[in-house]
Amino acid sequence: MNRDNKSRAIEDLKLEVIPRKAHGISRKGISENALKVLYRLHKAGYEAYLVGGGVRDLLLGRDPKDFDIATNATPDEVRKLFRNCRLVGRRFRLAHILFGRDVIEVATFRGHHTDPKKSKHTARSEDGMLLRDNVYGSIDEDAQRRDFTVNALYYNIADFSIRDYAGGVDDLNNRIIRLIGDPETRYREDPVRMLRAVRFAVKLDMTINPATAAPIETLAPLLQEIPSARMFEESLKLLQAGQGLATYKMLREYHLFEQLFPAVAAHFTEEHTSQTEQMLEQVLSSTDKRIANSQRINPAFLFAAMLWYPVVTRAEEMTFESGLSYYDAFMVAANDILDEQVKTVAIPRRFTAMVREIWQLQMRMTRRTGARAFKLLDESKFRAAFDLLEMRGAVEGGDTEVLGAWWRDFQRADQGGRQKMVRAINKVSNTRKPRRRKQAPRRRKPQSNSSS
């Protein structure tokens, strides 16, 4: 079998030290705050390495988003060195060094779980998932515990060399995402690694190694065991990092998307042509463009668009089955869909409140008579609601597309133009409404004057 089709077995890991003159990383590309942490750890007698994505991105000529550090100092020892340090994490203890909004994450080298003396620091579920992982070790052990070869790269602040334990530089050059160790075992330890494999492959324009990809579809349901709060953070990394559309398509390919958004996936078709699927492509493409143009994005809008047609379908079913008015059924359906969604991806309440507001405005945007259109224009979430309406128009066409065009023109018009547009709507509305015949007031029956 071709070596590129295999996983990288832990027992096959072999350290290669790449001296400063043989690689392209310069300290100019490393953040000033990360260098401060590296130098202070080194000066205090500890090993200190820039590790993982920071090294990987620098070698690829990219600007790293984060600068993570690995050391043999324990979290408590790190805290003694830095006043601006706080310890976080239950599953694995980490030190966060705070420089205003900039956070440098420092992790102690992780060790193996085979030592009985360390059993109280580790715990696994029946499926093999690591529940507690506070086992410390050497840099060699830490490299074996890394997930992908391209993340097992360490930049040594002591001599500016790179320590490559798993052929990560070769895989970077060959554009391959490859797990270290047995793929099924590593995915069972942490199912989120399946999502990371997809995210890195899309982000770095690489191919997932066949052995790394093989178990994903079978093991995808293990993601249901991951805490929904963690899945929320992962969903943003997947869909709001600038390659959301391509990531979504690869998630579908490996049957991972339905583990995150089951209510959305229930509307998927083999042809990828349902209204939900069309909306997904629109909103993710739009999000990618906004990120590329350095425009602000809000997770609430993404979720509002993704879940719109599942809510509409549920509301229509409830209207038919229960006899509720469509508006009442829609409100109940909205709550139901959101309640179901947060079980897998824990969308915070501040965002679900915005989602509901955007949805409610979809109902109100059909009512434009009198002063309603002017009042609606002043709503804080009007722009987001309008953007969703336009996307709906592109999917549905017909009256929805016409309504979106009206609101687009209304926003662009001056005050006189807006009043003219509303008068035209009022005129049409009055023409369509049948006039009620005035009923004569009921006459009171004359009181009888007869005495008993």
Residue 101: CB partners within 8 Å, gap ≥ 6?
A: none
CB 333 within 8 A of CB 357: no
CA distance 430 to 243: 49
Q: Give burial (CB, 10 Å; 0-12/13-18/19+) of 89.
A: middle
- Write down the catalytic residue from 68, 164, 171, 288: 68
- Write down the catalytic residue from 57, 142, 147, 288: 147
- Write down the catalytic residue from 66, 170, 182, 387: 66
Q: 147 an active-site residue?
A: yes
CA distance 282 to 51: 36
Q: 399 an active-site residue?
A: no
User: What are the two backbone dihedrals, phi and then psi, of residue 132, each rounded to the nearest 5 degrees?
Assistant: -140, 135
CA 283 to chain centroid, in Å, comes to 13
Active site residues: 66, 68, 147
